[in-house]
Amino acid sequence: MHFGMFMEFGPRPDSTQSAAFHEGLDLVDAAEAWGLDSAWLSEFHFSPQRSMLSAPIVVAGAIAARTKRLRIGLAVYVLPLNNPLRIAEEAATVDQLSNGRLDFGIGRSGFVRSYEAFDIDYGESQGRFDEALDILQLAWRGDAFSYEGDFYGVNEALVVPQPVQQPHPPLRMAATSSETFQAV
């Protein structure tokens, strides 16, 4: 059995955004000292009352630099809101920095407001998710590749670095809709 913690880096009343990050990182240090197995990071956008984690991959890098054993999980990285080639590079970098301790949770999120703010049609989220997942898996094979989809294109890219974990960090998929359940 594995024990971990789920983190949103939420602000406390009468505190600062910076304090939310520092308190969260202090909790990560405590989790490693207490023998917990993992720390899982959410991704939320435009919800300052709930979470500061709009860039969980950046925080994952900070955790990788300050821990030695704790697995670092993303729960979840919202694929349709990000460029999948960039995601592949960033996740592989964190996997390298952590010596292979990244668990890569992926999803498409049900928070329509995030899509509106990024000017992405939520109706495209499943198609964008599917293409992004295809690109991630191609990028982590270690060969130059091209890809042409309805939403994303890649022109002869070789992702460097490659993940420590092969063929890639463990993928965990969040599913709350019938479309996503079919993909799982």
Structural domains in the chain plus CATH codes: 4-173 (3.20.20.30)
**Per-residue 3-state assignment (H helix, E strand, C coil) for the chain:** CCCEEEECCCCCCCCCHHHHHHHHHHHHHHHHHHCCCEEEECCCCCCCCCCCCCCHHHHHHHHHHHCCCCEEEEEEEEHHHCCHHHHHHHHHHHHHHCCCCEEEEEECCCCHHHHHHCCCCHHHHHHHHHHHHHHHHHHCCCCCEEEECCCCEEEEECCCCCCCCCCCCCEEECCCCHHHHHHC
The pLDDT score that the predictor gives to residue 117 is 96
Range with the poorest average pLDDT among 9-13, 16-20, 124-128, 173-177: 173-177
- Confidence band, pLDDT 50/70/90 cuts, at residue 178: low
Mean pLDDT confidence for 118-147: 97
pTM: 0.93
The pLDDT score that the predictor gives to residue 182 is 65
